[in-house]
A and B are shown apart, each in its own frame.
Chain A
Amino acid sequence: MTSRQRLTRLAVLVAAVFALVVPTIAVADKPPPKTPPGQTTTPAKPTVPPGQAKKGAPSKDTPGAPQNRGNGDTANGCTGSVKTTVADGSVVNANKYQIGDAVYVSGSNFPTGAVFTFQVVHVQTKTVVASGSFTGSAGSFLQQIAQDPKLTGHEYKVIVYYNTASGHRCHKSDNFFFVGGTDVKGAEQVVVCAATGSEKHPYHELKLPAAAIQHRHKKAGDITPAPEGGCPTTADVKAAEQAKAPLQTNVGQQVTIHVTAVPNTTVTVKGAGVDQSVTTTTAGIATVTIKPTKPGIVAVKGASSKPLAMFGVLGARSSGLAFTG
């Protein structure tokens, strides 16, 4: 074989390998460029007709390739997924989304550093109507389906993209869980107030199948089920702000203050030589440990202008000189 023939053979071989490998990496392992809602994307073709995926069945699709899932399905093997459904509010079929329903996808057992990107795509026009992502060993994505008047057709699908900085791709213990819409005929729906971490909009109201609740990665601060009057507003949260603090303490004594306040808000603790601030979690919780250095009054403030707690810091000993003895 001449060197020219060898080169030609090598080129053919490289092309063949490239053709086999690249699509998998491009579609599933690399998070796609962020596509703003309204723009189009080209998701991979579903390998199973919409709504026909066997519930709980392990994926037979090529790892990394999008696939169809029924609501409430568990997808093992970090395969990514496509879910196709109807969302015009008039058609209520099994495994179908309705307008206003939440598309909910959660993942777990992934290595730290995992990156997940989700897209809700209008099937007919390939328009990305929503997208999001999370990083970490576990997390969730949710998006409420809203009717876009410019779009015709009512099928939407969810695509999950997964990759890690460490190069981790698929693993047997990796797990995705998909829910959304009226997935099962007559299935009971539970309204959940999901903590958003937003001060202006502290809770997002989700309607989830009851079966999904136990699978959902509950974030601290979520309210399940939602109160009868609806999810708490910022005003409600502010009104319910509170701090657990001592009624009084002494100079040099360490004190821990537990605060429940508006999520992601700054809590300040000032007075008696103390000037500390912390930010509440997305669940609206903060813990502050202080050690007053001089006598005085310590005030704990959250989002409300009114102090959540005030307490006195006493000197080491007190005089009784005002007494007649």
Chain B
Amino acid sequence: MLTLLAALAVGSPAAAPASGSSTSAFPAAGIIVGNRLSVRARPSLQAAVLKRMPQFRRDFRRTVVLAVAADVVAGRRWLRVEIPSRPNGRTGWVPATAVQVSSTHRLIVIDRSQRRLTVYVDGKPRYVTKVAVGRPGMETPLGHFYVAAGFRPTESFLGVYAFETSAYSKLSEWPGGGIVAIHGWNDTSVLGKAVSHGCVRVSNTGMHALSLIVPIGTPITIKN
């Protein structure tokens, strides 16, 4: 699945997965099998639907899900998934057969106070880079998130590459909802400072490296 999601990051071909998911190690990232995924408050088909996630986004990318736990209720296996919407940090339950996920082996940890981004591979730090984070009043949100998409942006101020995350900034009125991104930045003088609107700015060199080593679906922990 890592290969599969890595393929999503760079748009290269990869085999389509079979339906259903049986992974036992979490977090686990993957894609939605059916047309639409109903995320419920409890592991039950009768539970309230917290969010409906489409198989494809409006930009025709696959919607990526991150499962963080599993449970078996009445013989049916359920996965607890992160919900990429406001407020940050919500989770809900989906039938395991509705998604195709597999364990992630990489983790991005952003130390907000240290202005540092570290990529862990199988628990070991493999890449570290200095970053800029949200300025006071627009702080980069703390918590557990994941990489939802990756692309080369049309806007030059976002640098050479950008990761869309599942986190939302404090700026709820921002056009598009104020999604927190990890993106490149042309002016390296901002690195190590709290100057952004909530996004995590990385040097273009660092962002290029991240685009190569971070698959879509990689979990992100933002801490102080």
Q: Which residues from chain A sit less than 8 Å from chain B, CB to CB?
A: 243-250, 253, 255, 272, 295-297, 309-315, 317-325
**What per-residue 1/0 map shows which CB atoms of B148-163 lie under 8 Å from chain A?**
0101111101100010
Cβ–Cβ < 8 Å partners of A310 in chain B: 55-56
Residues in chain A near residue B197, CB distance under 8 A: 324-325
Which of A247, A253, A297, A318 has a CB less than 8 Å from the CB of B154? A318
CA distance A322 to B154 in the complex (A): 12
Residues of chain B within 8 A of A296, CB atoms compared: 60
Residues of B within 8 A of A250 (CB): 11
Select which of A272, A314, A321 is within 8 A of B11 by beta carbon: A314
CB of A243 within 8 A of CB of B16, answer yes
CB atoms of A325 and B60 under 8 A apart: no
Nearest CB of chain A from residue B222's CB, rounded to whole Å: 14
Q: Assess whether B13 is in contact with A325, with CB atoms less than 8 Å apart.
A: no
Among the listed B12, B16, B138, B155, which residue makes an inter-chain contact with A319, where contact means beta carbons less than 8 Å apart?
Answer: B155
Look across to chain A and name the residue whose beta carbon is closest to the beta carbon of B55.
A310
Among candidates A253, A311, A318, residue contacting B16 with C-beta atoms closer than 8 Å: A311
| Residues of B129-160 contacting chain A, CB below 8 A | 134, 138, 149, 151-155, 157-158
Please tell me if the beta carbons of A317 and B151 are within 8 angstroms of each other in the complex. yes
- A contact residues around B199 at 8 Å (CB): 323-325
Is B92 close to A, CB under 8 A? no
| Distance (whole angstroms) from the CB of A37 to the closest CB of chain B | 45
Q: Does B89 contact A (CB under 8 A)?
A: no
Among B11, B152, B197, the most chain A Cβ lie within 10 Å of the Cβ of B11
Query: Which one, B16, B59, B177, contacts A309 given CB within 8 A?
Result: B16
Instruction: Pick from A312, A315, A319: contact of B62, CB below 8 A.
Output: A312
> Measured between alpha carbons, how far is A295 from B60 in the docked complex, in Å?
7
3 closest Cβ pairs, A-B complex: A322-B176, A312-B60, A246-B13
Which of B73-81, B108-116, B167-175, B203-211 faces chain A?
B167-175
- Complex Cα distance, B63 from A297, in Å, reads 13
B174 to chain A: which residues have CB within 8 Å? Answer: 322, 324
Q: How large, as a class, is the contact surface on chain B?
A: 35 or more
Interface pair A320/B155, CB less than 8 Å apart: yes
Contacts of B177 in A (CB 8 A): 322
User: Are A249 and B13 interface neighbours, CB within 8 A?
Assistant: yes
- Interface check B15, CB cutoff 8 A: yes
Q: Is the CB of B13 within 8 A of A324?
A: no
Q: Which residues of B contact A248 (CB under 8 A)?
A: 7-8, 11, 60-62
Say yes or no: B62 contacts A318, CB within 8 Å.
no
Restricting to B113-128, which residues have a CB under 8 Å from any CB of A? none
Least distance between A220 CB and chain B CB atoms (Å): 21
**Any chain A CB within 8 A of the CB of B66?**
no
Q: How far is the CA of A253 from the CA of B11 in the complex (A)?
A: 10
B176 touches A321 (CB 8 A): yes
Name A312's closest neighbour in chain B (CB-CB). B60
A297 CA / B61 CA spacing, docked (Å): 9
| A325-B175 contact, Cβ under 8 Å, with A309-B16, A317-B151 | no
Whether A325 contacts B158 by the Cβ 8 Å rule is yes
Pick from B12, B56, B154, B180: contact of A317, CB under 8 Å: B154
A314 touches B158 (CB 8 A): no
| List of A residues within 8 angstroms of B176 by Cβ | 321-323
**Is B95 at the interface (CB under 8 A from chain A)?**
no
Hey, what's the 0/1 contact readout for B12-36 against A, CB within 8 Å counting as 1? Answer: 1111100000000000000100000
Do B180 and A297 have beta carbons less than 8 Å apart?
Answer: no
A244 touches B15 (CB 8 A): yes
Which residue of chain B is the closest to A246 with respect to CB atoms?
Answer: B13
Q: Which residue of A lies closest to B158 (CB)?
A: A320
Q: Does B196 have its Cβ within 8 Å of any Cβ on chain A?
A: yes
